[in-house]
Amino acid sequence: IAFPTNKPEREAQHVIKVEYQENGPLFSELKFYQRAAKKECIKKWIELKQLDYLGIPMFYGSGLTEFKGRSYRFMVMERLGIDLQRISDQNGTLKKSTVLQLGIRMLDVLEYIHENEYVHGDIKAANLLLGYKNPDRVYLADYGLSYRYCPIGNHKQYQENPRKGHNGTIEFTSLDAHKGVALSRRSDVEILGYCMLRWLCGKLPWEKNLKDPKAVQTAKTNLLDELPESVLNWAPSGSSCYEIAQFLECAYSLAYDEKPNYQELKKILNPSGIPLGPLEFSTKEEGVNVHTPNNQRVDSRKAATKQVNQMQNRLIGKKVHSERSGESCTTQRKGGKEKTLMGLVNSEAAQESIRRRQKYQDAQELLNVVKPFPQKFSYIQFPNSFYKSHEDFISLDTFNKSRSPSGY
């Protein structure tokens, strides 16, 4: 027995997601589950990767029906619990250990869907739901904006289209989406980085400009171009965003059609490799300790700002970017990575990838200035009331561009 997502019975184990038949996002979501998220495929993946679970909701079936002269499409799904947005609204921020663990769990999901030719395209707290029976597990839901980036093994080409720009949820969407470029794997990783920054800091630098997509795009470009200092300085007092800065650097360095190194990304978020435990939510955590290259222990990111600036000044003195010198990226850098990138069909994509790679190498020197000490967190059990059933499985966000089933 299944119930509507907005009115599930107390003991219901399944829910039904219903939309008009012509609804594009629901059609896209259905195709994702049918092609890439079959129960037996997920089970094999869990065994192959030795995971305790994979955070993709279970899909049971779909169909078409008519009511009062209108045609409807429906999907029967696993029932899930509360979404992370409600928890974030209650606390404002999440403790760092929880944020990093959420990032690792999402990387598990992204690696699976990427291997099956899809990207999610809309990662955010409203689409991360806790399990109904297992509230210590988190699931990535709502594949209405999922995109088949590599159909039959052929990766989409990089092509900017301003008419399709700024698609997705404006706070978190990737630079490629802002430019109207079809989403690829690097977009999902970039979006996840923005999400983790928001969960840890409680806000993003561009939140006051959400009605101006171009201003948001510019702010994101500035944040990534000025890594790691831009993220380190955004951290609230007594906290550290070192791992997120490094994570975003890796995301920004990816070529358009490059496969992310998921294990390296997980290592950034969990350098000790300690097995993940159940998710925990609390409102406060202890201050963060970092150390400098001279092993001087300090209490927050402010104490390291001077050394970051000194390192940045040295880099500026050593290197001149191609944008300022007028030299092309292809003549400035001759390494093996660049030769590979220039082999891309689209030279615009190649030059963009080379620029990102140069930024990544510059920022790695800065990131070595501050490294976090192991942290101990205070833990407060999250109220049981937050584990009640999720009222609406469907995201309430309005997307800038609705898509028609005819486009799939």
Q: Please tell me the predicted confidence (pLDDT) of residue 347.
A: 67
In the predicted structure, residue 332 carries a pLDDT above the cut 60 = no
In a domain, 61, yes or no: no
Tell me the one-letter amino acid at 407.
Answer: G
Q: What percent of the chain is predicted at pLDDT more than 70? A: 67
Q: Please tell me the predicted confidence (pLDDT) of residue 387.
A: 38
Report residue 4's pLDDT band, with 50, 70 and 90 as the boundaries: low
User: Which of these, 51, 55, 60, 77, lies nearest to 134 by C-alpha position?
Assistant: 55
In the predicted structure, residue 305 carries a pLDDT above the cut 70 = no
In a domain, 350, yes or no: no
* 133-137, 244-248, 368-372, range with greatest mean pLDDT: 244-248
Q: Please tell me the predicted confidence (pLDDT) of residue 12.
A: 84
Q: Please tell me the predicted confidence (pLDDT) of residue 327.
A: 42
Residue 242 Rama label (left phi>0; alpha psi -120 to 50; beta): alpha
User: Which of these, 126, 110, 130, 107, lies nearest to 118 by C-alpha position?
Assistant: 110
Q: Please tell me the predicted confidence (pLDDT) of residue 91.
A: 82
In the predicted structure, residue 68 carries a pLDDT above the cut 60 = yes
Tell me the one-letter amino acid at 312.
Answer: Q
Q: Please tell me the predicted confidence (pLDDT) of residue 36.
A: 97
CATH of the domain at 219: 1.10.510.10
Q: Please tell me the predicted confidence (pLDDT) of residue 294.
A: 44
In a domain, 278, yes or no: no
Q: Please tell me the predicted confidence (pLDDT) of residue 31.
A: 96
- Better-scored residue on pLDDT, 211 or 339: 211
Q: What is the mean pLDDT of residues 259-273?
A: 96
6-64 pLDDT tens trace: 666 677 889 999 999 999 999 999 999 999 999 999 999 999 999 999 999 999 999 99
Q: Please tell me the predicted confidence (pLDDT) of residue 11.
A: 76
Q: What is the mean pLDDT of residues 140-150?
A: 97
Report residue 262's pLDDT band, with 50, 70 and 90 as the boundaries: very high
The whole-angstrom separation of Cα 7 and Cα 324 is 58
In a domain, 118, yes or no: yes
- Better-scored residue on pLDDT, 40 or 387: 40
Catalytically active residues, by annotation: 122
In the predicted structure, residue 374 carries a pLDDT above the cut 70 = no
Residue 21 C-beta-side C-alpha neighbours within 13 Å? 9
Q: What is the mean pLDDT of residues 318-342?
A: 42
In a domain, 141, yes or no: yes
In a domain, 100, yes or no: yes
Number of independent structural domains in the chain:
1
Q: Please tell me the predicted confidence (pLDDT) of residue 50.
A: 96
Which DSSP string corresponds to 199-249? HHHSS-TTGGGTT-HHHHHHHHHHHHHTTTHHHHHHSPTT---HHHHHHHH
Phi, psi angles (nearest 5°) of residue 340? -65, -45
Rounded to the nearest integer, the mean pLDDT of the chain is 80
The domain in which residue 250 lies consists of 80-269
In a domain, 210, yes or no: yes
- Better-scored residue on pLDDT, 362 or 169: 169
Token readout for 164 is 């399709």
In the predicted structure, residue 330 carries a pLDDT above the cut 50 = no
In a domain, 158, yes or no: yes
- Better-scored residue on pLDDT, 370 or 195: 195
Q: What is the mean pLDDT of residues 280-287?
A: 58
With 0-12 / 13-18 / 19 or more C-beta atoms within 10 angstroms meaning exposed / middle / buried, residue 105 is: buried
